[in-house]
Each structure stands twice: as structure tokens, then as C-alpha cells.
Amino acid sequence: MIETDHLMRALRIQEKSEKLIKSTDPEIVSTLVAFADGVNQYIENYPLPPEFKVLGYKPEPWEPVHSINLIGYMSWDLTSGWGTEILLNKLKKEISEEQLLELIPDLKNHKTAIFPEMKLPEVIIEESLLSASQKLEDLGIEIFHGSNN
């Protein structure tokens, strides 16, 4: 599961969510805090689904950043996450900047590199991503591919 862990960490969803909350309108943050408070009150005062008891799982307190994380995971899931990154990295190596701009006019919005801190050949990164994705599917955590993407 190391590759899967690398994949999920490479998304940096928690880090991005924390940055987003810092720049979010205080009224929205206040709403997220109120929602988190409601979730925590429910956890403390009402019985949780039976699966929690069977697994011996007590959830940690819900924090406002967790709500933003869900949006990040949904966004990744609905866009198939890493596929675009691999394609962009391959395209950048094969065609000129002008040709790339013809294909992707808003290229400035697509600068994120896959695993920027890892110095691995592209084939290893791509194989790791595919392996990690397959392991997620084996666990029943399938990346959604639907018409609403």
C-alpha cells in the first residue's frame, strides 16, 4: 500500500484545504465552524451507525478543514485526478510551448507537477500511480467515471 499512500499524500488535499480556509471569507468559515460543531455534538450525543461499533472506531472531532477536504477529494475523484498530470508532463516533453498552448490555452492553470519532490523516472511514477489506483479499486474505493465529470 506504499504506492497508494504516496498517491493520496501527493494530492496534498489537507495542505490545500488549510490554505483555502485561511483565505476564505470569515462568514463562510463561521458556517464551517458551526457545521463542525453540529457534527461533533451529534457524535457525542447520539448513537453512531453499527459499523462504528463493529470496527471499534470512534471518530475524531470534525474540524472545518475536513469539510473542505471532502470537496478536494470529490474534485479529484470526478476529474480522475492524476491522469491529466501525466498527460501534461508527457506533452511538455514532446511538443513546443506554442503547440502546447494551442491545445491547452489556459496552460498557466496547469503547472502542478506529479510528485515534485520525488526524483524518479516518469515511467516509475506512472506505474506507481496506476498501481496505487488499482489498489484503491481492490479495496472498493473506485475512482468514479461518470457523465457529470
User: What is the pLDDT tens value at each position of the chain, 149 positions in all?
Assistant: 787 788 778 888 999 999 999 999 999 999 999 999 999 999 999 999 999 999 999 999 999 999 999 988 887 777 654 566 667 777 778 888 788 777 766 656 655 554 455 555 555 555 665 566 666 677 666 555 555 54
pLDDT of amino acid 74: 83
pLDDT of amino acid 126: 55
Cβ-in-10-Å burial (0-12, 13-18, 19+) of 44 comes to exposed
Contact 132, 7 (CB under 8 A): yes
pLDDT of amino acid 68: 95
pLDDT of amino acid 90: 76
pLDDT of amino acid 125: 52
Is pTM beyond 0.75? Reply is no
- Break the chain into its structural domains and give their ranges: 1-78, 81-142
| pLDDT 10s digits, 39-75 | 999 999 999 999 999 999 999 999 999 999 998 888 7
Identity (one letter) of the amino acid at 51?
A: E
